[in-house]
Copies of this chain bind each other. A is one copy, B any other.
Amino acid sequence: MTLPSPFIAALRDALPDASLTADAERIAPHLIEWRGRYRGQADWLALPGSTEEVARIVRLASAHGVALVAQGGRTGLVGAGVPRAGELPVSFARLRRLRALDPADGSLIGEAGLPLAQAQAAANEAGLLLPLTIASEGSATLGGIAATNAGGVHVLRYGMARDLVLGLEAVLADGRVWHGLSRLRKDNTGYDLKHLLVGSEGTLGLITAVAVKLVPATPHRSVALVGLDSPEAALALLTRARGALGDTLNAAELMPRFGIELAIRHLGADDPLGPSHPWFLLLETASGWAPARLAAAMEDLLAAEMEAGRIGAALIAQSEAQAEALWALRHGLSEAQKHEGGSIKHDIAVPVGAVPGFLTEALAAVTAQVPGCRPCPFGHLGDGNLHFNISEPEGGDRDAFLAQWEAVNRTVHDIVARWGGSISAEHGIGWMKVAEHARLADPAKLAAQRAIKRALDPHNIFNPGRILAADSL
């Protein structure tokens, strides 16, 4: 299935040459998702150079009934940005200007294709912080983090992308531009269109620019790694850390011994606390004021916990290099797992207080379902979001293991649902979880989501089939 030629002809009339290509070599990288689970197809690629060009593309797509697939940094993991035959990918790679940065407001406005890392660097230069920290920040774009409501390791302090997005500019289904690049902190003028587009994965409109909130810089930090007996002990430590460290607490990352061992084996990491603890919690505090007090507060907390016998060994980084090394352990877990064969992944969240109970139940269920499998659950304890990943049995058959992906997903998602959790904490629904979303979402919510999609994208031209199956609308 190719694009209708009258549509292509009209598009070529409407756009400058640089904004449309049929060059297979240039298109190729726009067809794959980096994890390799999705491969798409497209004969054409739109690369609009302005918001007005995006509006022209949308108007023509609407008139010709052609579906549009928005692409930012293409670091998604659920297939939302991979075009299928008959769809036109729209890359924001050429819309990447930093439009404004205002230190008095604490705001930055950038176009959809501006890489997150560049926006972060601009904020840093102004003595401020754009506090969204994700592994893919070098490639991920402002438009992408808004469209997918990106998360990361600092959510417990600063919230998700939606909590940082102040305003949007977007092209809606009728081709009109919504000029919503507000820098306001307070605006109660009817339904919040911004929060509807954030996290909509390109299915309600095309985001062309984003205004984000900047916060005071936190140049000083204290990073500690703590060895623990159990997730319960980690949760208890987290609760006391919140009390002692207040909102300087930046991150609280849970890691199992198995993950640390993989990082040692495959990435040459040091073994900072030795083999005697089954679980680890990485704590980070940061602040721009009272820097001298910061490390002391961490030391006081951990000394008291150790004295009370509630934690095992603990290591407080004594330098930035040591802090980086502790973080490298955490950031290396996904990479290290790749060396152990296939991995069935879950991006789930449960209420923070439910993490230990969920883990007990889910670990028992998956090891019963796939004997010998090696779970490596890790992630953001501070916001209840775990990457519940399961490596194949040692010496097992990779393909046979991965063939159980969906069955294992269903097992885990059922348990997540019982604990009041989310089957997609960070990555979204995309293609990957459409059926699971339809199976497990609250029926009233699902009906409302379908009504919203029909209302705002009546011809289903924006990323059809993602989030909600086309035949459910």
Interface residues, chain A, with chain B CB atoms under 8 Å away: 102-107, 127, 148-149, 151, 155-156, 159-160, 162-163, 172, 174, 176-180, 182-193, 195-196, 198-200, 204, 215-218, 235, 238-239, 242-248, 287-290, 293, 297, 349-353, 380, 383-385, 420-429, 433, 437, 441-449, 451-456, 467-468
Contact = CB atoms under 8 A, between A and B. Distances in A.
B351 A102 contact: yes
Most B-side CB within 10 Å, residue of A187, A351, A451, A452:
A187
Contact of A188 (B148, B172, B242, B468): B148
Contacts of A127: 243
Contacts of A200: 190-191
B178 A448 contact: yes
A196 B163 CA distance: 14
Contacts of A187: 349, 422, 424-425
B449 A191 contact: yes
B383 A185 contact: yes
B293 A151 contact: no
Given A149-B188, A186-B384, A189-B441, 17 more contacts: A159-B163, A159-B185, A160-B185, A162-B195, A178-B442, A183-B352, A185-B385, A186-B385, A188-B428, A189-B437, A190-B200, A192-B199, A193-B449, A215-B247, A216-B242, A218-B246, A448-B456
Contacts of A349: 184-187
Nearest to A452: B191
Stoichiometry, copies per complex: 2
A467 B190 contact: yes
A155 B185 CA distance: 8
A152 to B, nearest CB: 10
Cβ-closest 7 pairs across A and B: A195-B195, A104-B353, A455-B455, A185-B383, A178-B444, A187-B422, A186-B425
Contacts of A428: 188
A424 B104 contact: no
A422 B427 CA distance: 33
Nearest to A183: B351
B155 A186 contact: yes
B193 A448 contact: yes
A228 B243 CA distance: 37
